Amino acid sequence: MTTRWTMTIDCGDPVRVARFWCEALGYVEAGPPKGWDSWESFLVDQGVPEEEWNDGASLTDPDGVLPAISFLKVPEPRTSKNRLHLDLQVTGGRNQPQEYRERVIRAEAARLVAAGATVVREVEIEGGGALDHFWMTDPEGNDFCVV
């Protein structure tokens, strides 16, 4: 039996980081729970103080296939490299022509830099000298790769 799961990313500004990941993944902001017409009405009904309304955000795959991602406000900043990260698989894999892979990876990295990401390093295929992937960070420094 499988277990339903989502991923949660701790951050200082959930709305800002969620906006970046919407752009990066093509996700959309999650709608309010069933029975409520807005997040505001849900939060009011749950007695959540207004100053906490932006302490989280949630995104969903618009096709309803891939896992949801949540963003939770935490007081401490990121202090070390993530042990778990997302790989944005934009090329279709190493079976694709290297020239194609490099062009697609570079274009996606540039698009994400424009959306607020930072390139940490271009990583080459071991022993090959050709581009394998970009190691990047989101606007709050969370690691991810574009492969």
Residue type, 89: Q
pLDDT confidence of residue 78: 80
Give the pLDDT score at 22. Answer: 97
Of 145, 21, 12, nearest to 79 (Cα)?
Answer: 12
Cα 111 versus chain centre, distance: 14
Residue 138: the pLDDT is 96
3-state secondary structure of 17: helix
Q: Read off the pLDDT of residues 5-49 as tens digits, 9 standing for 90 and up.
A: 889 999 999 999 999 999 999 999 999 999 999 999 999 999 999
Closest CA to 77 of 10, 126, 20, 29: 10
pLDDT tens-digit map of 112-142: 999 999 999 999 998 878 999 999 999 999 9
Q: pTM value?
A: 0.89
Domains in the chain: ranges and CATH:
7-73 (3.30.720), 86-146 (no CATH)
The token pair at 29 is 């902001």
pLDDT band at 90 (very low <50, low <70, confident <90, very high): very high
Of 70-74, 76-80, 94-98, the one with minimum mean pLDDT is: 76-80
Are 97 and 65 in contact by the 8 Å Cβ rule? The answer is no
- Sheet of 69-73, strands arranged across: 7-11, 69-73, 56-60, 28-29
Segment 47-62 shows an average pLDDT of 94
Detail the DSSP E strand segments found in 22-137.
28-29, 56-60, 69-73, 86-88, 118-124, 131-137
